[in-house]
Amino acid sequence: MDFVLNFPFFSIMICMLAALSTFMLGRRAAAVVAKLALLITLVLSVILTVYLHGTGESFVYMMGHFPAPWGNEIRAGELEGVMAIFTCVIALLSLIAGKYSIRTEIDDTKQNLYYLITCLMEASLLALIYTNDIFTGYVFIEINTIAGCGLIMIRNTGRSIAAAIRYMVVSLVGSGLFLIGTTLLYSITGHLLMQNINESVAALAADGSYSVTLTIITALMTVGLAIKSGLFPFHLWIPDAYAISVTPSSAMLSGMVSKGYIFLLIKLIYRVIGFDVYSSTGVFDLIFIAGIIAMIMGSVAAIRSGYLRRMTAYSSVSQIGYIFMGIGIANSAGAVAAIFHIITHGLTKSLLFIAASSFTGRKEDIRVSDLKGLGHKYPVSAATFTAAALSIIGFPLFAGFIAKMLLANASFDCGWRMYAAIGAIAVSTILNVVYFFKCIINLYAFGGFEEEKKDTEGSTAEETADESVKATACVDNEDRPTKYENALHGICAAVLAIINLYIGLAPGLLSDIITKGLNVF
Amino acid sequence: MADFNPKEKKILYRAFRITAAILIVMLAAALIFCMFDLPGLFSPDHPGENIVAERYIESGIEETGAVNFVAGMILDYRAFDTFGESNVLFAATICVMVLLLVQDQSKSRVRRKRSKKNGTVNSDQTTVSESQTSFEQLPESKAYYEDLRDEREIEPRLIKNDVILKTIAKFAVPFILMFGVYVILNGHLSPGGGFSGGAIVGSGFILASVAFGFDKMERFLNRKSAGIITFVSLLVYCLAKSYSFFTGANHLESGIPLGTPGAILSSGLILILNICVGFVVACTMYSFFSLMRRGKI
């Protein structure tokens, strides 16, 4: 066995070990350890993906001394490798770019816990991506949920705790439904390993026995995962959770956490229940319709919200709708488009949150109308924000355009689905333009920023005599981002924007890997 | 969010309730239908009676060395899942700490700034509360209590412990702890194991802290020692299992003796893992209680 094949296991364990050691470290050492672990994981995932792209095959890896139906195992192919790279990139860049946010928003004594939660989150996401056993999937869903709560409430204000509680309640309902589905599936198949379940389910479907139960199981598990990833009727936890948490949390939650569940859903469709059985249950129509409604309603809510980060969060709802619509098209091209959009949207949305953090500063959120002129004050953030917004809109040259084109292409020859999908993409794109162009125009407008500057100058000139004000000014100075932090923030945003542009200009490699990976899935 | 007048609100609430009730009834009906459709639990053709269960029962003892099949299953055959489960506990502890840990105000920059904004700077407060050791010395001024950000800081000291509770705890706690240790150590021989034994030990700690106060518990189980115990246990678990996974996947001999089934020193790693899990669970239980009671471990 090649040594490279150990890498999925190594990356999970490295993240776990990093999580454990940050528990005992101070905040600076914890930051270094967490970033180092994520970097090592990233390198390992890249090597693994290159290797698997060369061989074009997938493999299973025994976790322990006992082979699959008895012991646990994990499985990796190109697709899993790409997803692992994607989660590592987002986690690493969010942590680095959010250095200032973490320093000022989180209590000093709890900062190492933040890095710990991030590492646990990354480990559980990797396990969700690589798992080949549905119960292992459930266990790591639990870690993911709990870590997600931690990411939201680390800010420790009343509103963030309320958002975390809402997230926890909704998310636990999702886990519960998934668990019920898993137990029922075990009762009728007697297996937990994905491959064995798939074979038994195919046999049961051929017999015609348990057909209603199978439909109920499929619906329960799909709805459970849809709740956890925030599909339309279950999206109400999203705006609070994304808009109130600290910047790296928002970037990670929107970029990779909800996407992990969607990837598990795709695994469920293709590897557990089986595509044919799944499409015979009619759940695809449910997903498709929910996705279409989400695309429209999410955009409408984003237009109405009026606050920058809240708007971005609602935009996430609509983009998750795109992904579910892609799955709901019910062919392999649709699944490829959906996975492509998982990656592009993850990269884009985390970039939006990271760029927005320089406009909001230490405030929780900012009105879109208050953005006036900030583009001249923060040129890098404004440029990357504009790039990300254009990508979400689907402007050519950017990755979002390719994703939307793949989605539209996949829906051809699908009867009523074609009209619905293309119509919804058109309407949703126009709505996206409405709310993102409002931001971009405001960012580059003249006038607002100068007035504000005059105001602050005037007020400080008046009060310089007061000593206490001097003291607070000193503290405020300490709380401004240092040059180093600003540079890191800019570099991370630029890297994300460049990746986005690269995928937009040369989408061949990524879509090729996804198509091939899905074939050996 | 749109504003509604009270009448509209009432209608909306009613509609919401009715929809929720309909959904729940539908879910319940679907699940009840499934229940009747499922194969009977003890029928010989139950799908669960397959090669997987067969091997667990027939060769479980010789392959894992554990007389208790369940311990062999969760800690050897499916150890990765159990590793995940113990990390669920770890994650839960961390999240409770994030939520409930009371900050030392002198150390925390963020907190200090916030209180400055509110106009209440209480610099001498931490020194006062540190000097408090017993119930009698509490200052009686009302302002002192209002200054405390968190009532959990003061509350545990206000309770005068009951004599009956103290006396019973004095007898019960040693037996509870001993029973918990027994369940942990015999996890591979009899029903029980790290999770259940750890819960027993943890409840013993909780009873002791309720009866004798946190100050006495802190002598051996404080934030530092609980942290070290959790860290070391999980680290040992992680490294031991990593070794076992790595050797297993690469088809190497692990070189861990299984011993004779039934002896206390048998079943390879299972005993060590049970002890680790027991430590983690006991510390988790106690720290949950302590964090909720007074905001620190």
Q: Which domain holds residue A406?
A: 290-445+481-521
Mutation target for A interface from B80, B97, B112: give the one with most A CBs within 10 A. Answer: B80
Instruction: Give the nearest chain B residue to A304 (CA atoms).
Output: B1
Q: How much is the average pLDDT of A6-16?
A: 91
Q: To probe the interface with A, which of B63, B104, B110 has the most A CB atoms within 10 Å?
A: B110
A178's CB contacts (< 8 A; 6+ apart) are A138, A141, A220, A221, A224, A225, A228
- Which residues from chain B sit within 8 angstroms of residue A143, using beta carbons? 84, 87-88, 91
- pLDDT at res. B144: 54
The answer to whether the CB atoms of A190 and B234 lie below 8 A apart is no
Of B37, B56, B245, nearest to A9 by CB-CB distance is B245
Q: Which of residues 104-143 of B touch A (CB under 8 A)?
A: 104, 107-111, 113, 116
Average pLDDT, integer, range B183-201: 88
Give me the helices (H) in chain B, please: 6-37, 51-64, 69-72, 79-100, 109-118, 125-131, 142-147, 155-158, 163-185, 194-212, 214-217, 223-249, 270-294
What's the confidence (pLDDT) of residue B153?
58
CB contact under 8 A, B95 and A153: yes
| Residue-range domain boundaries for chain B | 1-32, 68-100+160-294
Mean pLDDT value of segment A322-343: 91
Statement: residue A29 has pLDDT above 80: yes
DSSP element (H, E) containing A432: helix A416-443
Hey, is the C-beta of B79 within 8 angstroms of any chain A C-beta? yes
Closest residue on chain B to A59 (Cα): B249
Q: What is the pLDDT of residue A450?
A: 52
B98 touches chain A (CB under 8 A): yes
Percent of chain A exceeding pLDDT 90 equals 44
Cβ-based contacts under 8 A for chains A and B: 179
Mean pLDDT within A301-307 = 88
B224-245 pLDDT tens trace:
888 899 899 999 999 988 888 8
A210 vs B37, B56, B228: nearest CB: B37
CA distance A347 to chain B (A): 26
* Percent of chain B with pLDDT strictly greater than 70: 79
Residue B195 has pLDDT above 80, yes or no: yes
pLDDT, position A171: 93
A367 forms bridges with which residues in the sheet? A307
**Residue B99: its chain A contacts at CB < 8 A?**
153, 156, 161
Q: Which of B51, B76, B111 sits opposite A69 (nearest CB)?
A: B51
pLDDT at B116 over 60: no
Q: Which pLDDT does position B221 carry in this prediction?
A: 84
Global confidence as pTM: 0.88
- Residue B117's pLDDT band (boundaries 50, 70, 90)? very low
Contact residues on chain A for B38, CB-CB shorter than 8 A: 184, 187-188, 213
Would an 8 Å CB–CB cutoff place B48 in contact with chain A?
yes
Nearest residue of chain B to residue A111 (CA atoms): B98
- Sequential DSSP letters for B196-248: HHHHHHHHHHHHHHHHH-HHHHTTTSSHHHHHHHHHHHHHHHHHHHHHHHHHH
Which of A1, A23, A71 is nearest residue B77 as measured by Cβ atoms? A71
pLDDT, residue A348, reads 93
Interface probe, candidates B95, B118, B195, B238, chain A, greatest A C-beta count within 10 A: B95
SS3 call for A141:
helix
What pLDDT does A300 receive? 92
Give the pLDDT of residue A38: 94
Least Cα separation, residue B75 to chain A (angstroms) = 10
Instruction: State the average pLDDT over residues A391-413.
Output: 90
Q: Taking CB atoms and an 8 Å cutoff, what residues of chain A touch B227?
A: 23-24
A349 in a structural domain: yes
Does the structure show a pLDDT above 70 at B101?
Answer: yes
Max mean pLDDT among B29-33, B221-225, B247-251 falls in B29-33
Which burial class, exposed, middle or buried, applies to B123 when counting CB atoms under 10 A from its CB (0-12, 13-18, 19+)?
exposed
How far apart, in whole angstroms, are the C-alpha atoms of residue A387 and residue A401?
12
Q: Which of A1, A147, A187 sits opposite B250 (nearest CB)?
A: A1
Question: What CA dihedral angle connects B290, B294, B296 and B297, to 10 degrees?
Answer: -30
Query: DSSP state, B66?
Result: -
In chain B, which residues have their Cβ closer than 8 Å to the Cβ of A16? Answer: 87, 238
Interface touch B254/A161, C-beta < 8 Å: no
Chain B contacts of A200, Cβ < 8 Å? 47
- Give the pLDDT band of residue B69 (cuts 50, 70, 90): confident
Residue B2 Cα, gap to closest chain A Cα (Å):
10
Mean pLDDT of A274-284: 88
Lowest-confidence pick of A52-56, A125-129, A370-374, B263-267: B263-267
Q: What is the pLDDT of residues A75-127, one digit of tens each?
A: 888 899 999 999 999 999 999 998 888 888 888 888 889 999 999 999 999 99
Nearest partner of A397 among A319, A504, A477, A494, judged by Cα: A504
Report the alpha-carbon distance of residue B204 to residue B38 in Å, rounded: 41
Residue B210: other Cβ atoms inside 10 A: 19
- B250 CB within 8 Å of a chain A CB: yes
Q: Is the CB of B95 less than 8 angstroms away from the CB of A146?
A: yes
**What is the model's pLDDT at position A379?**
87
Q: Of A20, A69, A191, which is closest to B238 when you measure between CB atoms? A: A20
Task: Report which of residues B22 and B246 the model is more confident about.
Answer: B22
pLDDT at A520: 82
Instruction: Please classify residue B208 by burial: count the beta carbons closer than 10 Å to its beta carbon, then call 0-12 exposed, 13-18 middle and 19+ buried.
Output: buried
Is pLDDT of A47 > 90? yes
pLDDT in tens, B201-224: 999 999 988 888 777 788 888 888
Average pLDDT of span A288-314: 91
B254 vs A125, residue with greater confidence: A125
B16: contact with A, CB 8 A cutoff: no
The Cβ of residue B212 has, within 10 Å, a number of other Cβ atoms equal to 16
Measure A301 CA to nearest chain B CA, in Å: 10
d(CA B179, CA B194): 12
Q: Would you say the C-alpha torsion A446, A447, A448, A451 has a positive or negative sign?
A: positive
Contacts of A150 in chain B (CB under 8 A): 91, 94-95, 98
Is residue A123 a part of any domain in this protein? no
Q: Tell me: the pLDDT tens digits for A468-508?
A: 444 444 455 567 778 888 888 889 999 999 999 999 898 88
Among candidates A107, A153, A475 on the partner chain, residue whose Cβ is nearest the Cβ of B108:
A107
- Contact between chains at A109 and B48 (C-beta distance less than 8 A): no
> What integer best gives the mean pLDDT of chain A?
87
Cβ within 8 Å of residue A116, ≥6 positions away: A19, A22, A23, A30, A34, B94
Q: If you average pLDDT over residues A12-31, what whole number do you get? A: 90
CB contact under 8 A, B30 and A216: yes
Average pLDDT of span A177-197: 90
Higher pLDDT, A123 or B292: A123
Least CB-CB distance to B94: which of A106, A113, A161? A113
**Mean pLDDT, rounded, for A413-439:** 89
The pLDDT > 70 percentage for chain A reads: 94
Number of domains chain A contains: 1
pLDDT digits (tens, 9 = 90+) for A218-276: 999 999 999 999 898 888 889 888 888 888 999 999 988 989 999 999 999 998 988 88
Is pLDDT at A447 greater than 80 in this prediction? no
Mutate to test the interface with B, among A59, A113, A144, A146 (most CBs of B within 10 A): A146
Whether residues B38 and A188 touch (CB distance < 8 A) is answered with yes
